[in-house]
Amino acid sequence: MHSITYAAVGVLLVGVYLARRRRTASSLPLPPGPKPLPLIGNLHQAPKSHAWRKYLEWSKAYGPIVHVNMLGQSVIILSSSQVAHDLLAKRGAIFSDRPRLFLATELALKGFNLLMMNYTDQLRRHQKLQTSVLNPTPVSFYLPFQLLESKQLLLDLLHPGGGNAGRDVHGYFQRTVASIIHTLLYGFRIHSENDPILRTVIQLNDEFSGFVQVGAHIVDTFPVLNNLPAPLAPWKAIAESHYQRKYALRMENFRKALASPGWNISKHLKRIVETEKVEEMPTDELAFELGTMIDAALDGTTDSLLWFIVACVTQKHRGGFIDKAREELDAVVGRARLPTLDDRVNLPYITAITEEVYRWRPIAPEGAPHLNREEAEYEGYTIPARSVIVPNIWAITREEAVFGPDTDEFIPERWLEDDGKTVKSLPLSGFGFGRRICPGRYFARNTIWVIVAQVLWAFEVSPGRDEVTGEVIPVDDEACTYGLVMRSLPFKACFEARGKWVEEVLGDGDTYGEDHIAMLDKIAEGLASAK
Ligand code: HEM
């Protein structure tokens, strides 16, 4: 590099450092952490990928609250449920903003920054809309769609195309979840895993998941770079293209939903905005509200289900959890009908399996970052104002003091009391914390419970086989993507009906002849009667 360039970089580093350097009123020390270097702090130690693994190491070395300095920017990593609860929930008034991640916040979401928005009146308006359709009562009316699409999933798995060596499983589960949410939110079902709307959502989600990574993008570290002209700032074009495609998809789906016959969540929320006059909400902002729900619901729910299948094909020899689940299902449900949500109280082992999925493979292992708007003191340490707060869910779900030994193993029993019937109320973290806790958690839990129970009721699940040699293709239970969301890498699995009764109960054909519009109108009736 030319000496002038070195000098320019040096000046830039000093400038950024001075602008961000810690200014606290407190005389208390910062939380412990790896030793920083002058100016750059811990930048050189920032993990490039799968950061949650490094954060777990740091928590073992320095404790449940770790401070790292990224060029003067404080990052606080929380690695126990107690600490996360104390700060993010109990002190939610201070700890509920989001950091300004340029690529995601400023460029890819522009004014419609719902997931990454600070905790403002505008966000509270959106939360009000979300809870009006995602709280336990409205969610209880959505069950017919979870059952319908779960049945379609079982039919698809029963008659897979392309022989019996197994197929990549991602598409089956993506279609299922996508169809549930697109029907409820927009009034149309998704018939195929190759549906162009579904493929676009998945592509946009994958891009966005990569944008929301603390420390991964140079423009987040040096926001000043955003002033560079477009050819020198390639992320601008990437984010602009992301935004344009997202905008077009969301507006088109919203338009379709309003034009579609029957009730749907788009119409429901539009009516609330118009009649309750909470405050003006432009149409595109409302369309982005619906799109945010679609994105969050698709990734979180599908990826949890995929990890459940990974557990089925990799862990069953260790804990024998599938056999135990079957015993419970056969005793309570029998073989003449599918399990449904009404069976939940009598099927604690199935609930323990779903809890263990959220713990074993939390789909957002680094959580979604929070930010504290004011300086705070905690356990003898100071947390500087505007620190980036990373809830290290990966470490939190591995706390042996809370979950018992062998936390890397899939052991549903850890969720049951000694009587084997009562589900323990252990601290939950997979859905986030405090005022930013996932508003879709009741809906997601119902969807996942129904599908897990029905898949276990219907199938022997085993790893896929090589089509030529017939040899089993082992599945790596740690192979995953890196981003906001941790998704299993593609893998093959075989689903064989457990017996003749499965086909008898499921019947022939498919479910696409069902009158889903009449079913949606029933939801409207249910909601009206629940008022
Ligand atoms: C198993 C499935 C799911 C998991 C594990 C999950 C997890 C999460 C997590 C960890 C957060 C961040 C919380 C925080 O900042 O502390 C979040 C936020 C969010 N989730 Fe979920 N989620 C799931 C399903 C859903 C569903 C089904 C919906 C909607 C229908 C949804 C809508 C949202 C929204 C809108 C936010 C943003 C909340 C905010 O920033 O204030 N999620 N979710």
Sorted by where each begins, the domain ranges of the chain are 2-530
Q: Is the pLDDT of residue 7 over 90?
A: no
CA distance 233 to 492: 39
Nearest to 148 by CA among 330, 357, 338, 289: 338
Query: Across residues 324-330, what is the average pLDDT?
Result: 95
Per-residue pLDDT, 57:
96
- Ligand 1 neighbourhood includes 87 CB (under 6 angstroms): no
The model's confidence at residue 24, banded by pLDDT at 50, 70 and 90, is low
Per-residue pLDDT, 254:
98
pTM over 0.90: yes
Per-residue pLDDT, 13:
53
- Ligand 1 neighbourhood includes 138 CB (under 6 angstroms): no
- Ligand 1 neighbourhood includes 412 CB (under 6 angstroms): no
Q: Is the pLDDT of residue 162 over 70?
A: no
40-49, 94-103, 154-163, 453-462: segment of lowest average pLDDT: 154-163
In tens, the pLDDT along 212-271 reads: 777 667 888 787 888 888 888 888 888 889 999 999 999 999 999 999 999 999 999 999
Nearest to 356 by CA among 431, 413, 427: 413
% of the chain beyond a pLDDT of 70: 93
Q: Is the dihedral of CA 83, 85, 86, 91 positive or negative?
A: positive
Per-residue pLDDT, 276:
78
Q: Is the pLDDT of residue 105 over 90?
A: no
In tens, the pLDDT along 435-471 reads: 999 999 999 999 999 999 999 999 999 999 998 898 9
Q: How far from each other are the two terminal CA atoms of the chain, in whole angstroms?
A: 69
Q: Is the dihedral of CA 51, 463, 176, 307 positive or negative?
A: negative
Q: Is the pLDDT of residue 518 over 80?
A: yes
Query: Across residues 144-158, what is the average pLDDT?
Result: 97
SS3 144: helix
Residue 485's CB is within 10 A of a number of other CB atoms, namely 24
Query: Measured in angstroms, how far is the CA atom of residue 60 from the centroid of ligand 1?
Result: 28
Contact 363, 307 (CB under 8 A): yes
| Nearest CA, atom 36, ligand 1 | 438
Tokens 């009034």 correspond to: 187
Q: Is the dihedral of CA 274, 280, 282, 288 positive or negative?
A: negative
Contact 370, 95 (CB under 8 A): yes
Query: What class, spelled out in words, does domain 2-530 have in CATH?
Result: mainly alpha
Contact 409, 315 (CB under 8 A): yes
| Nearest CA, atom 16, ligand 1 | 432
Give residues with Cβ within 8 angstroms of 346, minimum separation 6.
332
Helix residue ranges, H only, 361-509: 393-396, 400-403, 441-458, 500-506
Q: Give Cα 256 distance to the centre of its chain.
A: 26
Q: Which atom of ligand 1 is nearest to the CA of 445?
A: 1
Query: Measured in angstroms, how far is the CA atom of residue 431 from the centroid of ligand 1?
Result: 6
Query: Across residues 63-85, what is the average pLDDT?
Result: 95
CA distance 452 to 350: 8
Give residues with Cβ within 8 angstroms of 199, minimum separation 6.
none
- Ligand 1 neighbourhood includes 438 CB (under 6 angstroms): yes
494 carries a ligand binding annotation: no
Per-residue pLDDT, 308:
98
% of the chain beyond a pLDDT of 90: 75
Q: Is the pLDDT of residue 134 over 90?
A: yes
Candidate from 431, 436, 446 with most ligand 1 atoms within 8 A of CB, to mutate: 431
Amino acid at 332: V
Q: pLDDT higher for 195 or 101?
A: 195
CA distance 140 to 144: 9
